[in-house]
Amino acid sequence: MPEPEPSTEQPATEGANQQPQPRETETATQPTLSVVGIGASAGGLAALRTFFAELPADTGMTFVVIMHLSPEYESSLPNLLQPYTAMPVAQVTEHVEMEPDHVYVIPPAKRLLVTEGHLDLADFDMPPGRRLQIDTFFRSLAAHHGDGAAIILSGGGSDGSVGIQSIKEGGGLILVQDPAEAEFDSMPRSAIATGLADLVAPVAELATQLVSAKRTRAALELPSDPTNLSNAAEQLLVQILTQLRLRTGHDFSGYKRGTILRRIGRRMQLVQAPTLGDYIQRLRQSDEEAELLYRDLLIHVTEFFRDREAWETLGREIIPQLFAGKGRDDHVRVWTVGCATGEEAYGLGMLLLEHAGTLNFPPHIQIFASDLGRTALDFAREGAYPEAIAANVSEARLARFFEQDNSHYRVRNELRELVLFTPHNLLQDPPFSKLDLIICRNLLIYLQRPIQERVYESFHYALRPDG
């Protein structure tokens, strides 16, 4: 049987198929790396065979393969993979409990979701040609097993590039096949462009490093309760934050301990440093490791129109007030804080332009979008997003505000010119001034209460009296 053909399917309606996003809480920092989602499309069969051939059969992990399969044929993918692994390989046909050292494969024309240690099938509610099975599964996986791993292999398009954000935010690992090795490199390149990949390597090395990360995770010595650290653990954490401040210039001491320890734990397993003391030595020896930890601490889940009801309220009740009493010589000034890769800023710009279009003489619009992460800001300025944004952006908005560019949507100049993306440290730099609106949805949940109060005070002075 020939290799399954890739599908270019993706969701159609705004807000469709949104999965719960992992929220930042002060919880234990040492979950078990257990569930691995693998996304593949064209050229993916050979990559999958190599991956499983290199992988021991007793890792204790569960593997779920999401591949674009033709809905017109029955899938033989389990039979094509079984000779390359001693683990049982089965196609999911009903509600099934996941077991370690098993491989589960998606069937054609279905969504595969994770629910409390089980896999469930669901029909698509979008037409063919607008479905992204890999992103759908990764988001679902992140909501229940965000500390697992996501692997992107050969394939066309950009499926998976949005879902890996949720996996990374939950503390999971992102592994991507080297595009030079992939038969079709669009999916790997799109994932790499997000800046979220922990490892880009040939498939055989991905298997080896995944096992090493699992082994290190099992040996990690991290505090189980980040809200009640021992003096020794607190001193080690302070040393890590000091090294980070000395090497990057940024102070993360005001971040919640759970946030920091979770991200440190991710880096510890990747560099095979089982104790905080071992990791401190690694930081002292490597500027690169300090930069990688810094980037990890800046990762925030973001997507277009996340929490749709909040955006609908913003557009219906708040934005009209910003324009009230203003004419062509006036300005509407908005600041989106912790903008990450720009989805929130551009989404806000869409709402502002839509309302401005209802006015005879609209005011000028200026959006300030700030973040600490320069890589994220570069991505935002580029304004090229994976096709998966069609899950959250309506067809009308895609047509007006984006241009189709291969497997991406590129922001049109009308929208791009509204937004000034700039590096800004909310805890050190002065705020923007004379603002009508401040949006800060992606940052405050990571900060300790006293730091939050300082931020609120800063916002108060940045707003206009009626802002």
Are 106 and 230 found together in one domain? no
Mean pLDDT of 214-230: 78
Report, as an integer, the average pLDDT of 31-59. 89
Task: Please tell me what DSSP assigns to residue 318.
Answer: I
Top mean-pLDDT range of 78-87, 206-215, 226-235: 78-87
When pLDDT is cut at 50, 70 and 90, the band that residue 129 belongs to is: low
Instruction: Please tell me the number of Cα atoms within 13 Å of 411 on its side-chain side.
Output: 23
Q: Do 184 and 58 belong to one domain?
A: yes
Tell me the two tokens of residue 92. 């999911």
What's the CA gap between 240 and 246, in Å, rounded?
A: 10
Structural domain span for residue 245: 225-298
The residues pairing with 102 across neighbouring beta strands, listed in sequence order, are 62
* One-character DSSP codes across 405-431: ETTEEEE-HHHHTTEEEEE--TTTSPP
Q: Within this chain, do residues 214 and 229 fall inside the same structural domain, yes or no? A: no
Give the end of a domain, one of 151, 186, 218. Answer: 218
Q: Tens of pLDDT along 79-108? A: 999 999 999 999 999 898 999 999 999 998
- Percent of residues, the chain, with pLDDT higher than 70: 90
Q: Is residue 27 part of a domain?
A: no
The pLDDT of residue 125: 65
Residues 186, 57, single domain; the answer is yes
Q: Is residue 30 part of a domain?
A: no
CATH number for the domain spanning 163: value is 3.40.50.180
* Same domain flag for 130 and 254: no
Q: Are residues 113 and 157 in the same domain?
A: yes
The reported pLDDT for the residue numbered 17 is 40
Whether 13 is covered by a domain: the verdict is no
Query: Nearest CA to 39 among 151, 144, 142?
Result: 151
More confident residue, 391 or 42: 42
Which tokens hold the place of 123?
Answer: 């029909």
Q: Are residues 208 and 114 part of one domain?
A: yes
In a domain, 65, yes or no: yes
Instruction: Map tokens 């707003």 to a residue.
Output: 463
What is the tally of structural domains in the chain? 3
Neighbours of 331 (CB within 10 A): 12
User: What is the percent of the chain where pLDDT is above 90?
Assistant: 44
Q: Are residues 397 and 320 in the same domain?
A: yes
427-454 confidence digits (pLDDT tens): 888 889 999 999 998 788 888 889 889 9
d(CA 264, CA 279): 9
Is 318 a domain residue? yes
Helix, strand, or coil (residue 207): helix
**102 plus 241 within the same structural domain:** no
**Among 13-17, 213-217, 267-271, 398-402, where is mean pLDDT lowest?**
13-17
Same domain for 213 and 243, yes or no, is: no
pLDDT digits (tens, 9 = 90+) for 396-412: 999 999 998 877 899 99
CATH number of the CATH domain containing 314:
3.40.50.150
What pLDDT shows up at residue 30?
46
Mean pLDDT, the chain, integer: 85
Domain match, 316 and 340 both: yes
pLDDT of residue 72: 66
pTM of the model: 0.80
